[in-house]
Structure formats: structure tokens, C-alpha cells
Structure 1
Amino acid sequence: MSPVPEILLDVCRNPFLAVGVPIGLGALSGIITGKTARSPWFTEMRAPAGNPPRQAFGPVWTVLYGLMGYASHLAVKSLDAAVTPNATASANKSLRLYWTQLGLNLLWTPLFFGAKQKELALVDMALLLGTVVSMTIEMHDLRTDFSTTWLLAPYCAWLGYASYLNAGYVWLNWNRRNV
């Protein structure tokens, strides 16, 4: 497998960029959400039980993006300190998973809210959840004193909940047009 591009490693090396880039990208993605979440397409759908108020999502995602960003910073520090080929490969793999999951994460909002494709968003969510669990397991084995595991555990839990919500919207609104 190819190593993570140096520019992406440099983002993770700087703790402010490591935290700020996912928060900033998430905020941009949230602009799509804000408009469509208030539209009739979304407000008239049946919501699954336990659906939180719309205002909860911004603060929750800001924290989660910050935690995942800092976990990437710890992972790149582990990569830079690696002295064996296995440690280097493991850190590289965890960082490839990090950037992959961030892309999948940022794709979900345009799929669900932008394109109004709840089913495709659910497929993306399943891929995202699997990637994040794999990333968490991979980062757990890095030399970070399990800090990455604690940083990523809330993200894993929230994605499980978000998967339930996405699946609920698909199930409860199966025959609803996407316009």
C-alpha cells in the first residue's frame, strides 16, 4: 500500500490544523444541511424515535471532528516515531483510514441533504462506520497510550446512532419521493 501523501501528513502534524481542518470542512458541509433540514422535503418526513433536535447536531459534530482530528495528530506522531517497518505500516494504514473516513463523512451530507438520496447516504454511512471502527482498532495499536481509542470512541458511538437515524428515515419514508 502506498504511504499517505506528505501534504496530508503535514496537516496532521500540526495539532491546530489537525483539529481545525475537519471542523472547518464539517462546517462547510453543514451549510447544505441547514438549508435542507428546514425544507419541506425533510420536515415533512416521518422521523425515527429518538431523533434529537436539529440544533444538537452542530455542537456534537464540532466536538467529534475535533476529537478525530486530534487522534490523527497522535497517529502521525506515532508514524514519525516509528522505528520498525511494522510500526510504520500500521501508522500509515491508520492515517489512510483516517483520510478515507473523513471523505466518506463529508460525502454523507451532500448525499442525504443535497441530493436527497437517503438510501445512498445509508450505504455511505455503513461504509463510514466500518472504516471508523477499522481506523479505531488500527490506531488502538499505535504507541499513543490508547488515547486515540478514547478520542474515537464517542465518534464510533455517534455513528452507530446516526446509522440508526439514517436507516429509520429510509424505512419510515420508503415511498416518499426525493424531491
Structure 2
Amino acid sequence: MSTSSNQKRSGWALVVFLLITFAAPALSAFIEMPGPWFDALRKPPLNPPKEVFGPVWTLLYTLMAVAAWLVWKREGFGPALKIYFVQLALNAAWTPIFFGAHALGLALGVIVAMWVTILMTWLSFRKVNAVAGWLFVPYLGWVSFATYLNFSFWQLNG
């Protein structure tokens, strides 16, 4: 393949990683959005305003997709990307469980499993590509905070 063909393929692959990364959780978010049930819950002390979540998740999903793309460029669809897609599926599952089913305890179990797979993804990514590993750090930090929030909601409202 020519360099131009490789660059086009790589560019399209980045677009696909962005679409997949944004699509999985976005589908569940359109199904189950926070509403009156959530508004009525007792909130933990560090609960951010609703307006924070959209921009934060947009940045995180972009960083995640770029990290996955960098790993793909280095090793193709290897073990690191398999773990990536597992954590992405758990990410997509959390919203309908928390907001749709109102199952705070089950959602806590899902987010803990998600945190573990994010940690595994980060460890795998950084072995393949150091930049990809660093791009995953904000996501790990945010989901650590989200785990605190989920636990707090469960404790306050369970």
C-alpha cells in the first residue's frame, strides 16, 4: 500500500474509533436520561452540576477514541483493544441501569467492573503506546470520581 493509502486508511480508522466510542454510550443516554427521578434523589456533597457532564464526557470519549486508534495503529486488534471494548460495553450498560432501572446497587457493581477494566485497558495501552496510556488517565480519574458518586447515591437513597 502506498503512503497515501495508509494515511487514508488510518484517518478512516480514527473516524471509526470516534464513532464507535461515542455511539455505544450515546445510544443508552438517548434511551435513559436523568429526569424527575434523579432530581428527587438526595445528592452527595461533591455532586457536580448537570452541565458539567456533557463537556467532560465529550472530552473523555475523544481521548479514549484517539488512544484506541493509536493502539490499533501499533498492534491492530490485539488484546488491549479487546479490553477496551469490554470497558466500553460496561460504560454503555451503566446509564440504563442507573437512570432507567433506578438500580443504584447494580449500577455500582457495573461501575466497579468498568473501573477495573479501565485500569486494565490503561495498563495494556501504556505498554503498546505511551501516549495512548496517558490519554486514558483522565478517564480513569473521572470514573474513579463517578464511582464515588454512584456509591454515595446508593448510600443516601438505597
Q: What interval of TM-score do these two structures reach, taking the shorter chain for normalisation? A: 0.7 to 0.9
- C-alpha RMSD over aligned residues: 2.0
- In the other structure, the counterpart of 1:170 is 154
TM-score normalised per structure 2: 0.88
Q: CA deviation at 1:63?
A: 1.2
Percentage of matched positions with identical amino acids = 35
CA-CA distance at 1:43 after TM superposition: 1.1
What residue number does 1:140 align with? 126
Cα distance between partner residues in 2 of 1:42 and 1:128: 22
Structure 2 match to 1:98: 84
Partner of 2:28: 29
- How far is the alpha carbon of 1:78 from its aligned partner? 1.3
CA shift in 2, pair 1:11/1:118, >3 Å: farther
Paired residues of 2:28 and 2:92 also in contact (CA < 8 A) = yes
Change (3 A) 1:165 1:115: same
| 44, 50, 62: which one aligns with 1:48 | 44
Other-structure match for 2:140: 156
Post-superposition CA distance 1:117-157 (Å, at most 9, x none): 11100000000000000110111111x2x101211000000
| Aligned residues between the structures | 150
Give 1:110-125 correspondences, 5 Å limit.
110-125=96-111
Q: How far apart, CA to CA, are the structure 1 residues paired with 2:121 and 2:22?
A: 19
> Residue 19 of structure 1 corresponds to which residue in structure 2?
18
Runs of 4+ with >6 A deviation: 10-13
Q: 8 Å contact 2:24–2:89 — kept in the other structure?
A: no
What one-letter code is carried by the residue in structure 2 that aligns with 1:152? F
The answer for unaligned runs of 5 or more in structure 1 is 1-9, 81-90, 175-179
Stretch deviating more after TM superposition (23-32 or 153-162): 23-32
The 2-side partners of 1:130 and 1:170 are apart by 19
Contact 1:26–1:65 (Cα < 8 Å) also in 2: no
- My pick for the range that moved more, 20-29 or 54-63, is 20-29
Query: Following the alignment from structure 1 to structure 2, what is the Cα–Cα distance between the partners of residues 93 and 49?
Result: 39
Unaligned regions of 5+ residues in structure 2, if any? 1-8
Change (3 A) 1:172 1:32: same
User: C-alpha separation between the residues in 1 aligned to 2:11 and 2:82?
Assistant: 12
Cα distance in 2 for residues equivalent to 1:117 and 1:12: 40
